[in-house]
């Protein structure tokens, strides 16, 4: 009778699971796979809601804030873009941190610190101070989506990953759909200061919750069957087992790798074009409704929520349809790219808003466009599928860096394009950018397969 191997022990919540293994056996299964990854998806969802609430709160407050501070459209564009300057600049350092600091610790620090900066935006009342605090919020939110991608890659098998990404990404739109009317009412009932104070407090509380609850797969309550399901399905559970001191530093060659592949440039450019539409809604959309459509704060808050609702439907549909296609035997390339390209095509219908005076038609066109933006928003699944395994954080950082240059460009370009009488040039700009995104996914990305670190011959 063969001698059993060493006992492999792993924490299971508060207790310990012991599995007898030998050098030739696979990890023991403990019944049906647990569902801890569902809890992880919900936690990511809540975090994304808070993340985007703190991005959009300025746009909600801007009509009243700009009136109090007597800001020009150019100054409004500068303040709205301040987040993007540091958010984009810190993507590569953020990706570097994601490869070295555990999501439990890094996300906690980022959440609490950016929420403190948000809170103080409601305390100060000067233009310069608001710009500085907004720059801090952008810098501290920079690691957020690379952390989300890192967590999703470690916790979900490939056949579930797009659904998980679509679910937590929908948080950005669900939060905006539900909270935009609430924050608009709060501003009307009290003042724009309370928009920042309330959202800041919520983020600080959730940062503490994240630290208390989140664990990596092998340190969590997930049983061995769930760990095996994730690993066998392409989830990189081993990411959670690495130690920061064992990971080699990123070299110039690593940077050259993530900047030297056509496929990766395809998703970088595509993400810039996709998020340009998102940043229009996160910055100028409420001002457009109030200043160019003549609505009051309460009415604008209610109507502004409709495109976000449409985007929620798009995001959820995207992940479900993409993973369903994959389970039906459709190629990974088609399953991932079809919702993205279809969504971008729908986004071009935004141009219709420039050719009607009907508020109902304007909201309809913009809702269809934002549905398309949501449908296309599973682009992080391409990072998981294309990035070199050792460089997930660096690739995610570069992807988010280039993509979120739109958070700088969109507010500033629109601020200079629009006039006091017309918002039409803004819609023309957004449509042209979206077309570029479609061309990028069609002609640059090509087949979805993990990029090699070796230079192609």
- Domain, as residue range, for 42: 31-230+249-445
Per-range mean pLDDT, top range of 22-31, 237-246, 326-335: 326-335
Tokens linked to 220: 């969590």
Question: Using an 8 Å Cβ cutoff, are 279 and 77 in contact?
Answer: no
Q: Tens digit of pLDDT for each residue in 88-139?
A: 888 778 877 887 888 889 999 999 999 999 999 988 878 889 999 999 999 9
Which phi and psi angles does 8 have, rounded to 5°? -95, 120
Q: Tens digit of pLDDT for each residue in 344-387?
A: 999 999 989 888 888 888 889 999 998 999 899 878 778 878 88
Q: What is the mean pLDDT of residues 184-190?
A: 80
What count of other Cβ atoms lies within 10 Å of the Cβ of residue 343? 30
Question: Where does the pLDDT of residue 299 fall: very low under 50, low under 70, confident under 90, or very high at 90 and above?
Answer: low
Tokens linked to 153: 């890659």
Task: Please tell me whether the overall predicted TM-score, pTM, comes out greater than 0.85 for this model.
Answer: no
157-166, 220-229, 255-264, 447-456: the lowest-pLDDT one = 447-456
By three-state DSSP, how is residue 157 classified?
coil
Classify residue 290 by its DSSP letter: I
Parallel/antiparallel/unpaired status of strands 7-12 and 15-20: antiparallel
Classify residue 75 by its DSSP letter: H
Question: Which has the closest alpha carbon to 392: 186, 240, 269?
Answer: 240
Where do the DSSP E strands lie in 15-100? 15-20
Answer yes or no: is 456 within a domain.
no
Q: What is the pLDDT of residue 432?
A: 94
Answer yes or no: is 17 within a domain.
no
> Rounded to an integer, what distance in angstroms lies between the CA atom of residue 448 and that of residue 446?
6
187-201, 243-257, 292-306, 382-396: the lowest-pLDDT one = 243-257
Domain with 368 in it: what CATH number? 1.20.1250.20
pLDDT at 300 over 80: no
Question: Where does the pLDDT of residue 411 fall: very low under 50, low under 70, confident under 90, or very high at 90 and above?
Answer: confident
Question: Where does the pLDDT of residue 142 fall: very low under 50, low under 70, confident under 90, or very high at 90 and above?
Answer: confident
Tokens linked to 195: 């928009």
Q: Which residues, 6+ apart, have CB-to-CB distance to 370 below 8 Å?
A: 173, 277, 281, 307, 308, 310, 311, 314, 347
93-107, 195-209, 233-247: the lowest-pLDDT one = 233-247
> Rounded to an integer, what distance in angstroms lies between the CA atom of residue 319 and that of residue 324?
8
Question: Using an 8 Å Cβ cutoff, are 394 and 258 in contact?
Answer: yes
Question: Using an 8 Å Cβ cutoff, are 20 and 5 in contact?
Answer: yes
By three-state DSSP, how is residue 12 classified?
strand
Answer yes or no: is 44 within a domain.
yes
Computed over every residue of the chain, the mean pLDDT equals 80
Answer yes or no: is 18 within a domain.
no
Question: Which has the closest alpha carbon to 314: 288, 292, 281, 285?
Answer: 281
Question: Which has the closest alpha carbon to 292: 82, 58, 63, 76?
Answer: 63
Q: Name the domain count of the chain.
A: 1
Tokens linked to 117: 């900066």
Tokens linked to 275: 């998020």
Per-range mean pLDDT, top range of 275-289, 324-338, 362-376: 362-376
pLDDT at 21 over 50: no
Q: Tens digit of pLDDT for each residue in 27-86?
A: 344 478 778 888 999 999 999 999 988 888 888 888 888 888 888 877 888 888 888 889
pLDDT at 172 over 70: yes
pLDDT at 238 over 50: yes
Classify residue 296 by its DSSP letter: -
Answer yes or no: is 307 within a domain.
yes
What count of other Cβ atoms lies within 10 Å of the Cβ of residue 187? 22
Question: Using an 8 Å Cβ cutoff, are 239 and 150 in contact?
Answer: yes
Q: Which residues of 109-121 are buried (b: 16+ CB within 10 A; e: fewer)?
A: ebbbbbbbbbbbb
Answer yes or no: is 21 within a domain.
no
- Element housing 79 (H / E): helix 73-89
Beta-bridged to residue 9, according to DSSP, are: 18
Answer yes or no: is 7 within a domain.
no
Answer yes or no: is 16 within a domain.
no
Q: Give the Å distances, CA to CA, from 79 to 111, 137, 138, 166.
A: 21, 12, 12, 30
Question: Using an 8 Å Cβ cutoff, are 242 and 42 in contact?
Answer: no
pLDDT at 244 over 50: no
Q: What is the pLDDT of residue 32?
A: 84
């Amino acid at each position: 009778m063969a001698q059993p191997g060493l006992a492999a022990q792993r924490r299971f919540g508060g207790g310990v699971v012991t599995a007898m293994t030998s050098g030739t056996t696979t990890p023991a299964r403990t019944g049906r796979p647990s569902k801890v990854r569902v809890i992880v998806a919900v936690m990511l969802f809540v975090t994304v809601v808070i993340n985007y609430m703190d991005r959009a709160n300025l746009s909600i407050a801007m009509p009243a804030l700009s009136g109090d501070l007597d800001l020009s459209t150019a100054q409004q564009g500068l303040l709205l873009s301040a987040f993007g300057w540091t958010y984009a600049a810190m993507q590569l350092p953020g990706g570097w941190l994601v490869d070295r600091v555990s999501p439990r610790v890094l996300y906690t620090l980022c959440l609490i610190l950016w929420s403190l900066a948000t809170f103080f935006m409601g305390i100060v009342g000067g233009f310069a101070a608001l710009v500085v605090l907004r720059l801090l919020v952008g810098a501290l939110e920079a690691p957020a989506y690379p952390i989300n991608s890192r967590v999703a890659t470690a916790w979900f098998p490939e056949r579930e990953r797009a659904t998980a990404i679509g679910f937590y990404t929908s948080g950005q739109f669900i939060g905006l759909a539900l909270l935009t009317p609430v924050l608009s009412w709060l501003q009307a009932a009290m003042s724009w200061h309370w928009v920042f104070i309330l959202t800041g407090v919520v983020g600080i509380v959730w940062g503490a919750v994240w630290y208390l609850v989140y664990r990596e797969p092998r340190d969590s309550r997930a049983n061995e069957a769930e760990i095996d399901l994730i690993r066998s399905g392409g989830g990189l559970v081993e990411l959670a087992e690495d130690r920061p001191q064992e990971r080699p530093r990123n070299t110039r060659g690593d940077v050259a790798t993530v900047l030297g592949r056509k496929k990766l440039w395809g998703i970088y450019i595509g993400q810039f074009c996709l998020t340009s539409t998102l940043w229009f809604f996160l910055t100028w959309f409420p001002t457009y409704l109030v200043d160019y459509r003549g609505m009051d704060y309460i009415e604008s808050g209610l109507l502004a929520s409709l495109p976000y609702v449409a985007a929620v439907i798009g995001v959820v549909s995207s992940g479900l349809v993409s993973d369903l296609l994959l389970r039906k035997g459709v190629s990974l390339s088609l399953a991932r790219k079809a919702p993205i390209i279809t969504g971008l095509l729908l986004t071009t219908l935004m141009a219709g808003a420039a050719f009607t005076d009907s508020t109902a038609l304007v909201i309809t066109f913009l809702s269809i466009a934002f549905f398309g933006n949501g449908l296309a928003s599973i682009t992080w699944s391409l990072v998981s599928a294309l990035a070199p395994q050792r460089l997930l954080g660096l690739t995610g950082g570069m992807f988010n860096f280039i993509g979120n240059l739109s958070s700088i460009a969109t507010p500033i370009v629109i601020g200079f394009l629009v006039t006091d009488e017309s918002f039409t040039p803004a819609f023309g700009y957004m449509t042209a950018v979206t077309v570029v995104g479609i061309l990028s996914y069609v002609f640059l990305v090509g087949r979805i397969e993990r990029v090699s670190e070796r230079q192609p011959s």
